[in-house]
Amino acid sequence: MQNLHLSRYEKLINYAKNAKFDGYTEIHHIIPKSLGGTDLDDNLIVLSSRLHFVAHWMLWKAYQTNELAYAFFAMCHQKKKGQGSRYNKINSKTYAILKKHRSTLISESNSNRWKNLEFAEKMSKKLKAIQQDPAVKEAKSLRMKQQNQDPAYRQMLVERRREKMLDPVYNQMIKQKAQKTAEKKRKTILVDGKIYNRVTDVCKRFNISIPEVRRRIRSDKETYNSWQYCTQPAV
């Protein structure tokens, strides 16, 4: 398929070398700069806006690179000063493929930018400053208040909750979460051979906080080997 598109592209270039165009024309790189082309005269050719569009279309279909996808997308949507209109009659299938390719390119570009620690720190500070702006907070609060007072929005929330309740996967997840919570609540605590029904009882006995009790239970230290959860109730 690549050879087919390249063959058509070569025919277009050979035709354009001997053609005379009236009106608006554009300069085209025969070998794109992204593929190693130069700005020398032997790599430049004059094309009509329509042929320029078709040339980039063929190049993108032949090589499918990010740079050529961006260039072809620009041919479809961006208009230069003095240019009448773009020749953007592409079918829906081509548009969908091009749009997906460009979206992937933008996503990868943004992802790489956020991997830069300096950029990430700068943007985080900027976003935090915006969120802490009193005017932004007030506007957000007002928007949420208006949403909650809107009958249509409240009805949408009710319908969404109904849909969730009818979803077997969601219901199973809720049941599992409830079971885990119940099991955790039923657990007693074994310390030095003695069983305590409640964490607060352990706290009072050893004069420590609840987080400290849990830390000792999770600890790998030999000192706290006798601290553990159990299901046996205290006598």
> Which of 188 and 114 is assigned the larger pLDDT?
188
> Which range has the worst mean pLDDT, 35-39, 188-192, 199-203, 227-231?
227-231
Strand partners, 181: none
Interval 110-118 mean pLDDT: 79
**In whole angstroms, how far apart are CA 51 and each of 46, 48, 54, 163?**
10, 5, 5, 53
Interval 72-90 mean pLDDT: 60
- As a three-state string, the secondary structure of 12-41 is HHHHHHCCCCCCCEEEEECCCHHHCCCCCH
Interval 79-106 mean pLDDT: 61
> Which of 52 and 186 is assigned the larger pLDDT?
52
200, pLDDT greater than 80? yes
Helix H or strand E segment including 147: helix 134-149
Predicted local distance difference test score (pLDDT) of residue 98:
67
Q: What is the pLDDT of residues 118-171, one digit of tens each?
A: 888 888 888 888 888 888 888 888 888 888 888 888 888 888 888 888 888 888
Predicted local distance difference test score (pLDDT) of residue 23:
77
CA-atom Rg of the chain in angstroms: 33
- Sign of CA pseudo-dihedral 3, 9, 12, 13: negative
Sheet holding 194-196, edge to edge: 194-196, 188-191, 228-230
Look-up of token digits 């390249």: 6
Minimal CA–CA distance to 228: which of 200, 179, 192, 181?
192
Domain coordinates of the chain in residue numbers? 2-90, 187-230
